[in-house]
Amino acid sequence: MHGVVDYGEWMTGELFMELMADSGKATCDHFGKHITFLTVLHRMSVDCDCAGTGAAEPVIPDLGMMASAYILAIDKASVDMVYNFGDTRKNDLIERIESRKGLRQLSARKELKLGSDQYELISIN
């Protein structure tokens, strides 16, 4: 148990990211090696796609698609793609990630031993 929770900060803080990592671990533990993780980095906005029609317009263009057998590696590669995008349009998204403690999800997954954060990008054209 995480103790007393400040619900005003809950959805944007480290606890939420830790719970997301816990959820990923439960899924990985259940399905084991029968999972392939796919990430589509296409027309990204600072808002979650769950915001629907109220979401901010996408500002980052298509960065590609990725596939991996390892959840931590693909998520780390996705974050790195955003951080390494050579354009200032990434700044608002990076600010959103950091202000919501989004990188904590990666470190929590590493602590839960959900794979390695080391990866190799292989381009397929």
Range of the domain at 74: 7-111
| Residue 61 lies inside a defined structural domain of this protein | yes
3-state secondary structure of 9: helix
In a domain, 79, yes or no: yes
| Residue 70 falls inside a structural domain | yes
Residue 122 placed within a domain: no
Whole-structure pTM value: 0.84
Residue 2 has pLDDT above 60, yes or no: no
Query: Structure tokens of 9?
Result: 């900060």
Residues 121/39, Cβ–Cβ less than 8 Å:
no
Q: Are 93 and 84 in contact (CB under 8 A)?
A: no
Closest alpha carbon to 35 in 78, 84, 72: 72
CA distance 45 to 33: 31
Task: Report if residue 13 sits inside a domain.
Answer: yes
Mean predicted confidence (pLDDT) in 66-76: 95
The answer to whether the Cα torsion of 3, 50, 63, 26 is positive or negative is positive
* pLDDT value of residue 9: 60
Each residue's pLDDT tens digit, 8-62: 566 668 898 999 999 999 999 999 889 999 999 999 999 887 788 888 999 899 9
The pair of three-digit structure tokens given for residue 79, joined into one six-digit string: 């974050």
Assigned domain for 54 exists: yes
For residue 1, pLDDT over 50 is answered with: no
122 pLDDT higher than 60 = yes
The strand pairing partners of 64, in sequence order, are 41
What are the tens digits of pLDDT across the range 78-105?
Answer: 999 999 999 999 999 999 999 989 999 9
Q: How many domains would you assign to the chain? A: 1
CA distance 80 to 74: 10
Is residue 100 in a domain?
yes
